[in-house]
């Protein structure tokens, strides 16, 4: 009975590791100006921070920029995220204008700039 339980646990562990590996390799989808529809500056701020953190996380998977650039799949992933950032940035500025540069309520441009500074230090321009 113990051996069946052990085999079952081993099977579950292997399946969960396989699922995590597959999820890790999922490419992000490209957003467009028409598909991204922020309703408030909070949407812009929150989505921007999430996206910049995804870029930062992807970059930090590699010891240096050269290693990232050698990995075609990771580099393509990063480029999609950067394009999404540019699209989101454009749409938010077009929709809400200069208010995005003021710290007010849920809008925190300093936090966004801090993440962008980290990315710049790691060789990623956004």
Asked whether residue 9 carries a pLDDT value surpassing 50, the answer given is no
Every domain of the chain and the residues it spans: 31-121
Number of neighbours of residue 123 by Cβ within 10 angstroms = 12
pLDDT digits (tens, 9 = 90+) for 41-67: 999 999 999 999 999 999 999 999 999
Give 43's Cβ-side CA count (13 Å radius).
Answer: 11
Spatial contact of 28 and 84, defined as CB atoms under 8 Å apart: yes
* 36 Ramachandran zone, left/alpha/beta (phi>0; psi -120 to 50): beta
Q: What is the mean pLDDT of the chain?
A: 85
Mean pLDDT of 6-32: 59
State residue 97's pLDDT score: 94
The DSSP letter of residue 104 is B
State residue 28's pLDDT score: 87
To which residue do tokens 């990771």 refer?
74
CA distance 79 to 55: 9
State residue 26's pLDDT score: 78
Number of neighbours of residue 78 by Cβ within 10 angstroms = 21
3 state SS of 107: strand
3 state SS of 91: helix
What's the full length of the chain, in residues?
126
Mean pLDDT of 74-93: 96
């Amino acid at each position: 009975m113990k051996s069946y339980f052990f085999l079952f646990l081993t099977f579950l562990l292997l399946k969960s590791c396989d699922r995590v590996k597959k999820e890790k390799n999922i490419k992000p989808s490209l957003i467009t100006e028409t598909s991204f529809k922020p309703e408030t500056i909070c949407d812009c701020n929150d989505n921007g921070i999430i996206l910049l953190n995804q870029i930062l996380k992807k970059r930090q998977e590699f010891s240096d920029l050269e290693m990232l650039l050698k990995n075609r799949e990771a580099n393509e992933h990063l480029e999609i995220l950067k394009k999404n950032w540019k699209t989101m940035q454009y749409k938010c500025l077009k929709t809400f204008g200069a208010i995005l540069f003021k710290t007010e309520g849920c809008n925190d441009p300093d936090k966004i700039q801090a993440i962008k500074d980290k990315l710049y230090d790691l060789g990623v321009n956004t």
